[in-house]
Amino acid sequence: MRLLLLMRCCIYQAVKCEVRIYSHKWGSMELVIGETGVNSMRKFGILILCLLLAFLLPGCGSNSAPGSNQGSIYMTITDDAGRTVVLPKKPQRIVVLSTSELELLYAVGGQAIGRASTKAETIPLPAVNLPEVGFVYNVNMEKLLALQPDLVIAHQGMHEKLIPVLESSNIPVLVVKMKKYEDIVAKATLFGEISGNTEKAEALIHDIEAKINAVQVKLPQKETKFAILHATAKNVTVELDSSVAGSTAKMLNLKNIASGDATLQKDLDAIPYSLEKLVAGDPDVIFVVTMGQPDEIEKRMKADVESNPAWNGLRAVKEKRMYFLPSELFLLNPGLHIDESAAYMAKLVYPEVYGNVQ
């Protein structure tokens, strides 16, 4: 519409200008001005300028950054599920379905109007009394929809099944992953853009990087092999570098004995447990991440170790270097506390450098 009005204005201003252009002698051009003479020349110049502007102006506003000139669109995002998420306006009613993402959103100056229930103690103080929509693994859709959110931040691998219902209600859903250190930095940047607090996000990222560097700078220059067992009440698997605990160990330059497994497939966090492969890799350290009742799982695993000669022959077992990791730092992504995860693991592996875990 703006383009049409601009062109009409140009035509009106140059209506008295008679222009005739023809080819003559190898493409030279001759311009013939009508009765209005020099004045028409001026108007003809206006016409050319306006037409140029008319063609150039539609090219503006293609940037997807917040606040850019995109008509009614505030922001366009490609989430971690590869989906295109369009935010028509700056979100004012955000519901966050995972504690790590909630804490990160508030750390960069954002706010929410609803959250998932949790037993964790890392809920930002301003978010403690927010309406709850059920636990992270069991979201109550009725409660979620009743809050009338204009953005739902979901956790990849947990909440994909909620997308169709939310999208049918015209509610944007942003699916994010928070496993590695790089994911946390990327989400801090993204949440800063969504909330309009990019400078605060940059300061937060700088602080996290400084804390991680303080751990890494003291790392000994030697190879230490490890294995991570993920234990539940029903089974045991071996975690890879893409898991939360695996990515933390990778930050410490530790070598995962499962990384070279020939059965590895893309995007896997864990593979089936094999005592034979564990014995063959003979790790210096064994970490155990538990899901469920940690005391019961730990008791059962220790009984298995004591009763199995193959277990007892492992270097990590003989040197009493099998450690049960706290779930709040190594089961789900620790988010802002990733430096604590790195420091905790560093103390277990190199107590002579970092001191003992308290």
**pLDDT tens sequence across 240-291:** 998 999 999 999 999 999 987 645 555 678 888 888 999 999 999 999 998 8
Residue range 319-332, pLDDT digits in tens: 999 999 998 899 87
258 forms bridges with which residues in the sheet?
A: none
User: What's the token pair of residue 36?
Assistant: 């209005």
DSSP letter assigned to residue 270: E
Residue 228 has pLDDT above 80, yes or no: yes
User: 189 and 226 in one domain?
Assistant: no
Separation CA 327–CA 347 (nearest Å)? 17
**Residue 67 domain-assigned?**
no
Tell me how far apart the alpha carbons of residues 43 and 41 are, in angstroms, rounded to a whole number: 5
Please report, for the domain that includes residue 180, its CATH number: 3.40.50.1980
* HSE-CB of 124 using CA atoms within 13 angstroms: 24
**Final residue in a domain of this structure, among 184, 214, 244:** 214
If asked whether residues 18 and 48 sit together in one domain, one would say yes
Same domain, 81 and 8: no
Packing angle of the helix pair 198-216, 244-251 (nearest 10 deg): 60
What's the CA gap between 269 and 30, in Å, rounded? 72
Range of the domain at 166: 75-214
Residues 87, 193 within the same domain = yes
Is 70 contained in some domain?
A: no
**Residue 65 within any structural domain of the chain:** no
pTM, entire model? 0.75
- Same domain? For 100 and 206 the reply is yes
Q: Which of 158, 180, 214 is the last residue of a domain?
A: 214
Nearest one of 85, 108, 177, 166 to 133, comparing CA atoms: 166
Domain termination residue (choose one: 214, 239, 271): 214
Please report the pLDDT score of residue 108 as a whole number: 97
Question: Same domain, yes or no, for 204 and 327?
Answer: no
- Judgement on whether residues 134 and 209 belong to the same structural domain of the protein: yes
| Structural domain includes residue 66 | no
> How many angstroms separate the CA atoms of 23 and 269, rounded?
70
For the chain, helix (H) and strand (E) counts, in that order, are 15, 16
3-state SS assignment for residue 293: coil
Contact 41, 50 (CB under 8 A): no
Structural domain count of the chain: 3
Output the average pLDDT for the chain: 81
| Domain assignment of residue 273, yes or no | yes
